[in-house]
Amino acid sequence: MVIHYFVIIAGKSDVFEWNYFKPKGVADDSAGGEMAEQINNLTEWNFSVDNLNDAVFWNKYVLMKTGKKYRYLKEVR
């Protein structure tokens, strides 16, 4: 299994792959722990949280732009 993250921005129909982390191969039974470990390097999160409401996380690590392009998002659709 390879971990990938996808982002849909409210009000838009585009789907983006979040590429802050490089895709990482993991065993099926350790994927959740690896995801939590990666995200927790940037913000506090676990599977009991429905919404990640950390503006610094979103603005610095996900939605940051270089010029008019997202730095860590690649459009996939």
Rounded Cα–Cα distance for residues 64 and 58 (Å): 8
* Cα-based angle 7, 11, 17 (whole degrees, multiple of 5): 15
How far is CA 67 from each of CA 6, 24, 39, 64, rounded to the nearest angstrom?
A: 22, 28, 25, 10
Kindly report the pTM of this predicted structure: 0.82
Residue 66 structure tokens: 């270089």
**pLDDT digit string, tens, across residues 9-67:** 989 899 999 999 988 888 888 888 889 899 999 998 888 888 888 999 999 999 999 99
What is the dihedral sign for C-alpha 39, 45, 46, 50? negative
